[in-house]
Structures are given as structure tokens and as C-alpha cells.
Amino acid sequence: MHSDNHALLVIDVQNDFCPGGALAVPGGDEIVAPINALMDNYKTVVVTQDWHPTGHKSFASSHDGKSPMEVIDMPYGPQVLWPDHCVQNTKGADLHAVLRDGGNIIIRKGTNPEIDSYSAFFENDHETPTGLHGYLKEKGIDTLTIVGLATDFCVNYSAIDAANLGYKVTVSLDHCRAIDFDGSLSAAIDAMKGAGVTVE
């Protein structure tokens, strides 16, 4: 058992990010049982859920003439356009059925139709908080192990924000899988290390 100040953050282990899903991450389902085993070692487990309204601005289908994986400029910076995924109250948005439980708290993100939210801490404007930092602070948590999907997007953004907020952060790559689009995985690993995250 880890000490009480050390929490596990499980990012977006949802059907749409697993094989057969709308934005399938290769091998996404392989990490579910190992994450279950990891959960036993933490008193506090936080689970996130990508939770978009229909017509979300991160969907290519919301932009005339755009296809998934094209990049556009949004007011908050460049945005990769995704296939429709993790639409609220759909099967694709459900946590993977094998994931043991929803942990102590489930943080839903990406609910603002205008702004994507990769990080568990802030929307992609890097300003609007999800409330997770307040939750962790109140519980006296200063150390995080981060796992889940996808390494190069939501895990990456969450880990960097956590490090910038002052947490001691480890990302366990054995418990993550990546989209790896256009060099995004190696860029993410460099960015996480640059932010002081332990990537192992």
C-alpha cells in the first residue's frame, strides 16, 4: 500500500478508446486488468471520463469539410479534429466493463461544447479548472501515479499540468497506450520529462 499522500489517477479507460471503439487506441484494452491490480495499492483512486456533448467542437463532424486527424486553429490553440467519441450517455463513453470500479471520484471532462479538455485538471484553455486539484489538496495528496489512455494526449496533458501544479508525478507506461499520431508519442514523452514527470 502506498502512503496516504499518493493517489492513482486513471485516465479515460473508456470503450471508445479501446479496440472496436470510435477512437480506438491500439492495445487500449490490454491495460485494464493491470490497472485493476494497481488500484489495490492506493487509498485514493481518481478516474476520469471523457464526456462530450453531441456536436462537440473537437469532432471533425462539427466542421464543414474537415476530416478526423486534421488540425485546425481554435481560440485556445491548435486542435486535432477527432472522430465523434465519448458522447455523453453512450456505450462508447462508458468506462471499460472490466475496470474494477470508478475509484473514489469520477472527473468528467470535455463537457464544454466549445473547448476540448485533455487534462484532468484544466480545459484546453489551460485556465478553466475541473476541480480535481481542489479535491486532491483537500485530501492532502501531493504525489500522483498516472495511467490510462491515451499516453500522448490525455495522460500527457494531465501529467504536465499535475507537475506544474507541484505534484510529484510518475507515468507508468506499462499501464498506458498511445494513439501515436504524427510523432505525438515521442513528443509527449519528451514534454513530460521536460516538465519533471518521471516516465517509467
- Residues of the shown chain interacting with ligand VGL in the complex, contacts defined by CB under 6 A: 12, 17, 50, 82, 118, 149-150, 153-154
Give the active site residue among 86, 109, 116, 152. 109
List the single partner that 144 binds among ligand VGL, Zn ion, none, CB under 5 to 8 Å by kind: none
Look up residue 69 and give its three cell numbers.
Answer: 486527424
Task: Report in angstroms the alpha-carbon separations of 1 from 44, 103, 151.
Answer: 11, 15, 25
List the single partner that 153 binds among Zn ion, ligand VGL, none, CB under 5 to 8 Å by kind: ligand VGL
Query: Catalytic annotation on 43?
Result: no
Give the active site residue among 18, 86, 154, 176. 154
Could you give the strand order of the β-sheet that contains 168-177, starting from the edge strand earlier in sequence? 105-109, 45-50, 6-11, 143-149, 168-177, 198-199
What is the sign of the dihedral through the CA atoms of 22, 26, 30 and 32? negative
List the single partner that 149 binds among ligand VGL, Zn ion, none, CB under 5 to 8 Å by kind: ligand VGL
Distance CA 37, CA 47 (A): 15
Q: How far is the CB of 110 from ligand VGL (least distance, A)?
A: 6
- Pairing of the two strands 143-149 and 45-50: unpaired
Q: How far is the CB of 1 from ligand VGL (least distance, A)?
A: 28
Interface positions, 23-62, toward Zn ion (CB under 5 A): 50
Contact string 70-109 vs Zn ion (x = CB under 5 A): ----------------------------------------
Name the residue number minimizing CB distance to Zn ion.
Answer: 50
User: Among residues 143, 180, 200, 150, which one has the least CA distance to residue 69?
Assistant: 180
Task: Report in angstroms the alpha-carbon separations of 44 from 24, 38, 121, 160.
Answer: 28, 12, 16, 20
List the single partner that 92 binds among Zn ion, ligand VGL, none, CB under 5 to 8 Å by kind: none
